Structures are given as C-alpha cells and as structure tokens.
Amino acid sequence: MVIGVQPASAANPIIPDRFVADPSAHVFNGRVHLYLTDDQTNSGTYWDSKSWRSYSSSNLVDWTDHGDIFSISGFSWASQYAWAPGATERNGRYYLYLPVDRTKIGVAVSSSPTGPFTDARGSALVDKARDANTGEEPIDPMIFTDDDGSSYMYFGTRTPKVVRLGADMVSTTGPIMDVGLSGATKYGEAPHVHKVGGTYYFSYSTGWPGQIHYATGSSPAGPFTYRGVLLDYVNVNTNHHSLFQYQGQWYVAYHKNALEGGGNHKRSV
Ligand code: FUB
C-alpha cells in the first residue's frame, strides 16, 4: 500500500516560513501537535541546531507556532545535535524524548504539551557509553504505548532497537533489544510503531536516501515482516515520517525540500 499524499486545502509545506524537519505528530486534547527538529538555525552544512520547535493545529490548515520548546542547554550533560524528537503523554504529563550528541537520548517533561519542558532525570535515559546494545547511534526515539499501558521506546540507526519504559516514563525496564525485521527490506533510521486492531505496524526509513517501508507483527517488540512501501523517496537524503489519526482520518507527516533555499539540511514538513 502506498499512501497518496494529497494537499487537500492546507498549504504544503504546512510551515511555509521556517525550515523544520523530523515530524513527531500527536493528538493531545483535541489538537494535533508537531514536535520538530529546527533546521532553520543549523549551519546549512550539518544538522547542528541546538533546540526543538513545536506547532499545533485543530484543522491541519492553521498552525500555531509554539517556538523553541526545549534547548540542549536544558540538559547539563549534553552539548550538541538536537535531532529528531519523540513525544508522548501519560497521566496529564507530556514527555519529550530527545536525541543529543548522536550518542544519548534524554527526556524532558511538562504539564502542558507546549511546555515549558524541563530535564526529567538530570541524566540520559539511554547513553551509548553506559548502556549495552544501543547500536551505532541511539537517535530517533519514538514512543508507542500498548492497550495494556506498557510503553516502548524505539530508536536507532541501521539496526532498530526497542526498550520498555518504566511506568514513570523516565526510566527503562529490561534490556535494549534488537527489533526483528524480515523480508526484502533494509532498516536505516526513523522507527515508528502504531497499532490497528491486533496488528502492530513498524515503519521506518530504509536509509540515505530512504523510502519509508512498513512491516507488521503480532507483538510490539516484533518480530515484524516486511509488507511494502508506505512513502516513496523524497528530494532530500533523509526520510522521516510520523503517522497519526485525527477526526477519523489517518495522516502521514514527513519532510522534504519544499522551500526556496532548502536542501538536505534545510527541510520542510
Ligand atoms: O535531523 C537529523 C536526522 O536526520 C534525524 O535524526 C534523522 O531521522 C534524519 O531525518
């Protein structure tokens, strides 16, 4: 199945006045919230911005800019590379999962989906120097919560990783595991999990450049079997998507080069 991306009545890109990328889309309190990498403030030659942005909308046409929602300076233990964020809500608290330094994932928490967010732990949730089996780069965190309340964090490049989160959402439970993936596909980065009925859908970018492929399984930790292409190559060397359901319709948010002056490091959602 290939989702045809239709502009409907919204502008595409939906943020026409700022380079942003790596959408993590969530419906909180009846609004769609996007958490994003800020390509506007990077050097133009690398993804070296230092803060994350967010926008929200109730109609997918008009977007409210919530500005910088968190900066690397809020993590005393991190210094650079504010890459693709993940987000979730539990018990009225909102959590951002933020990859930094290409080696760590931190968590920031707030009582509002638009912040202010603060470091939830004072240390990294995942740290390549500390933890076993983080893989080459523990980046691109994505949180999925199953119907039984168990939450999982997916992340990683080249080999997809999964770890269970504690009920507090700011600790891990058990080891970091490889996500089993079989069939004619290659995992690159940008993991995403959603569930329809009893089926778990694992989707991901195949690399650089990458298509978004999807695979299905009967358990949140996999294994998953390749099923097909969800989103084709885009005109930049990274592909990163997020699926969400809003008012009865499924959508995919993604990035590409769509504004004047854009490119591999200046992307649009
Ligand atoms: O934005 C920096 C990196 O580019 C992300 O972490 C990857 O998913 C890719 O989109």
pLDDT digits over 188-201, tens only? 999 999 999 999 99
Residue 8 inside a domain? The answer is: no
- DSSP, collapsed to helix, strand or coil, labels residue 7 as coil
Please, are residues 123 and 108 in contact by the beta-carbon 8 Å criterion? no
Q: How far apart are CA 132 and CA 64, in angstroms?
A: 40
Q: Which atom of ligand 1 is nearest to the CA of 99?
A: 6
Question: With 0-12 CB in 10 A as exposed, 13-18 as middle and 19+ as buried, what is 249?
Answer: exposed
Reported as a single tens digit per residue, the pLDDT across 92-133 is 999 999 999 999 999 999 999 999 999 999 999 999 999 999
Show the ligand 1 pocket: residues with CB < 6 angstroms.
21-22, 37, 47, 83-84, 139-140, 189-190, 238, 240
Indicate which residue's Cα is closest to atom 4 of ligand 1: 238
Reported as a single tens digit per residue, the pLDDT across 46-98 is 999 999 999 999 999 999 999 999 999 999 999 999 999 999 999 999 999 99
Q: How confident is the model at residue 1 (pLDDT cuts 50, 70, 90)?
A: very low
Q: How confident is the model at residue 173 (pLDDT cuts 50, 70, 90)?
A: very high
Residue 11 inside a domain? The answer is: no
Indicate which residue's Cα is closest to atom 3 of ligand 1: 83
Residue 56 inside a domain? The answer is: yes
If you write DSSP's letter for every residue of 98-125 in order, what string do you get? Answer: EEETTTEEEEEEESSTT---EESSSS-S
pLDDT score of 6 more than 80 = no
Residue 16 inside a domain? The answer is: no
Is there a cis peptide before residue 7, judged by omega within 30 degrees of 0?
A: no
Residue 10 inside a domain? The answer is: no
Q: How far apart are CA 32 and CA 12, in angstroms?
A: 16
pLDDT at 90: 98
pLDDT at 11: 81
Residue 240 inside a domain? The answer is: yes
Domain that holds residue 132: 21-254
What's the angle, vertex CA 14, arms to CA 34 and CA 160, rounded to 5?
A: 45
Q: Which atom of ligand 1 is nearest to the CA of 81?
A: 2
Task: Give pTM, 2 decimals.
Answer: 0.96
Residue 263 inside a domain? The answer is: no
> What domain count does the chain have?
1
Residue 246 inside a domain? The answer is: yes
Strands (E) across 12-158 are located at 20-28, 31-38, 51-57, 64-71, 86-90, 93-100, 104-110, 118-119, 126-127, 142-145, 151-155
pLDDT: which is higher, 16 or 7: 16
Q: What is the CATH number of the domain that holds 140?
A: 2.115.10.20
Q: How far apart are CA 39 and CA 1, in angstroms?
A: 30
DSSP assignment, residue 74?
Answer: G
Compute the distance from residue 215 Cα to the ligand 1 centre, in Å: 21
Q: How confident is the model at residue 7 (pLDDT cuts 50, 70, 90)?
A: very low
